[in-house]
Structures are given as structure tokens and as C-alpha cells.
Homo-oligomer: A and B are copies of this chain.
Amino acid sequence: MGFLKVVPLEEALKVIDSFGLKPQIEEIPLEEALGRVLAEDVKAPIDVPPFDRATVDGYALLSKDTWKASESEPVRLEIVGQINAGDVPTIELKEGQAVGISTGAPLPKGADAVAMLEEVDVEGDELIVYKPYYPQAGVMKAGSDIVKGKEVLKASKKLTFKDTALLSALGFEKVKVFKKPKVAVISTGNEIILPGDELGVGKIYDINGRAITDAIRELGAEAYFLGIAKDDEASLKEKIFEGLKYDMVILSGGASAGVRDLTSSIIEAHGEVFIHGIAIQPGKPTIIGQIQGKPVFGLPGYPTSCLTNFTLLVAPLLRKLLGLKGEHRKVQKKLAFKVFSVKGRRQFLPVKIEGEEAVPILKGSGAVTSFVDADGFIEVPETVEILEEGEEVEVFLF
């Protein structure tokens, strides 16, 4: 066993791709759609507004009746009723007639303009109009806001409150979104205990379980932290099989090589191990396998290493299943100071982002503070020994 089969990162990604997991679609109520990812392009099924609508409080009329109106020679029209917002207008307006109308109400047949309340006078059932109104004055035409059939949202859009509001305005009660993949998360190691447990000699509190679980939730998928497996076959096997109820299983370190071998042999006994070590630093001790058709990932134990490999290997898969575009979130920054690497070693170096600079974190991936400070990492290829201060670098964000 060991690292006999160390492979390039690209081969590991091909293996993950070969699992053939595809985004799934479900239909959910619009009221639960905030933050979900749209699974289809959306076209407007109706005109907005659906009818010619008054945009002011006033009087609906025939514009041509007003064309000769002026301050000195106002026009008088017969008021034949009142239409409020929500009313179904039954009136058909004829020449010389006007009807009271409130903002948002539908224009009656015949009418093509609305005179504002503040611009007219009323005497008994007569409306006095002092100026000409052009056709559509005070009116929002049916479909002038959004025309029926227009594409309003694209698939893969993560729905914000503006999107759900737009879908509501278009009458969508339900919406098709990508299903959230469900991920089981397991921490391993005899030295790892859960918060709340007593801190005995030689023990440390779990960090990776919480980090991976909540990182998955931030991505928009569902994560279930199953707790800690001890460094023995029974405990590991039990947790892994509990994890197979979900869409995939992620284990993290075991600081020691022994746990890794144990994990690997359990996967091999019940499924298949495809990758046992990747030729990147950090990431050598990464395992990729499957049991019962479910991907099983074994990530390194050191928190920064764990998160780097999660970002390189698992996050792109989750983004794909969630229907999100782009494998990684990346930003361009300038390197804050010169760093040295080892030729022939492909390294992913944690960095903190400060303004336009990427500041390398050299504290070591075992430190919790490295993990806390790091916003992402940069790649230093095999062929590169020195990255210069001020050099343009691409930061993969956690």
C-alpha cells in the first residue's frame, strides 16, 4: 500500500468525473427557493402588467377628447363611474366621457389616457380638463414592463430575493431547482474529540469535521457530520457505512499513516480504491474510492491541507451537482513577498488576501491559525522554484 499509486491531480479529477454523478432537478415551492440554484431558463408566461394599468390616481378618458383643452378653454367630460385597483371594469368609455380611476386599476375599454387628480377639477358629475393628454399618458401598457415569452432568468442562477420576487410577479408558485447533494462528513483519529468532551492528555478537539461540514453548507449543499471514528476497523467501518446513506462520504485525517491504510483497506474490502495519493503538496495522503456506487474521499488531517484538498477535489464536484457554473472561485492578486518552492514538487500554498495582495502563510498546515488566516491558496507548479514579490498570482478561494 502506501504511496505506490501517487498520481497527478488531473488524473484524480478524471476519476471523480468518471463517477458519473449528475445534477438532479426537483420542483419546490417558490417560498423555499431563496438561495437555491435555478435548473431551467425561465420565460415570462404572462405580460406584466397583464392589462393597461393606471399609474396615477385620476380620471381615465379618451385622449382625443382633450386635444383642444387649455387653461382658458377647458374641456368638460361626463364622469360615468369609478374604477378601483382590483376592480373588473364593466364600463366602455364613449366620446365625452371620463371615469374615476385609482393607481393600479385597469383602464376601461375606450380609454387611452389618465388625467392626474391634481390637474383637473370636478363640478357635480362633470370633469374639467385644462390641458391635452397624449395617448398612454398616466398608463402602463400591458406587457410594457415584461412582455410574455421574454427570457427573464437563466438556468444556474443562484436565486436572490430579487429573483424570487420576479418569479412571484410572473405568477410562479413552484420553481425547478437543482437538488442539494447530501454529504456525510467523518473525522478520524484516536486523538480527536468533540467539543463538549473532556480534554484528556494527548487529545485535541475536532476542527476538520466542523470545517468541512460548514464549508459544504456555505456552498449550498447539505452536510451531515457523523462525528469521530476511532483508529480501528470496526469504528471506521461503522461510520463509513452510516455515511453511505448519503450521496457521498468525506473522511478527514487521522494524522498518522496507519489510519489512512485502514481507511483504504476498508474501502477496498467493500468497494474500490482508485486513488491512493496525489502528487501535490499538500495532498499526498488523499484517498479516492467508492463503495456501493457512492464516492468516498479520504482527506489529509492537517486543517489547511484538508481544506485545500476539499477545495481542489470535492468542491468542484459539489458545484457541478448544485448546478453552479465554474469549478472554482478565483481572484487575481499580487504576491506580497518572494517565496521559494522545491523544483519537481507541485505545491499549493495557503495565502491570506489583504487588499490587492496575496500574503503567503508559512506557519505550516498543522496550525489552526494557518487555517483561520488563509483565504485560499495559490499553485506553484513543479517547474517553478521561485515566485517573485509582486508577481501576478491566481488565488483559489476556499
Contact = CB atoms under 8 A, between A and B. Distances in A.
B256 A102 contact: yes
A160 B105 contact: no
Contacts of A161: 210-211, 213-215, 217-218
**On chain A, which size bracket covers the interface?**
35 or more
Contact of A217 (B34, B86, B194): B34
* Residue with the highest number of chain B CB atoms closer than 10 Å, among A85, A145, A199: A85
Nearest to A204: B49
Contacts of A171: 195-197, 199, 205
A189 interface: yes
A274 interface: no
B85 A189 contact: yes
Contacts of A146: 368-369
A366 interface: yes
Contacts of A84: 190, 231, 256, 258
A364 B140 CA distance: 10
B255 A202 contact: no
A46 interface: yes
Given A102-B255, A369-B146, A195 B173 contact: yes
A266 to B, nearest CB: 19
A168, A170, A206, A366 interface centre (most CB from chain B within 10 Å): A168
B86 A207 contact: no
Nearest to A200: B88
A51 B85 contact: no
A255 B104 contact: yes
A31 interface: yes
B218 A34 contact: yes
A165 B30 contact: no
A194 B173 CA distance: 8
Given A168-B206, A203-B50, A191 B145 contact: no
A165 B210 contact: yes
The main secondary structure of chain A at its interface with chain B is loop
B85 A256 contact: yes
A178 interface: no
A57 B217 CA distance: 34
B102 A165 contact: no
Given A86-B191, A165-B371, A190-B87, A31 B104 contact: no
A198 to B, nearest CB: 9
A217 B35 CA distance: 10
Contact of A30 (B46, B192, B195, B254): B195
A55 to B, nearest CB: 6
B34 A207 contact: no
A303 interface: yes
A89 interface: yes
Interface string A351-376: 00000000000001011110110000
Given A161-B218, A169-B368, A210-B164, A202 B256 contact: no
Contact of A258 (B55, B102, B202, B367): B102
B104 A57 contact: no
A392 to B, nearest CB: 20
A211 B165 contact: yes
A65 to B, nearest CB: 23
B191 A255 contact: no
B366 A55 contact: yes
Contacts of A166: 207, 368, 371-372
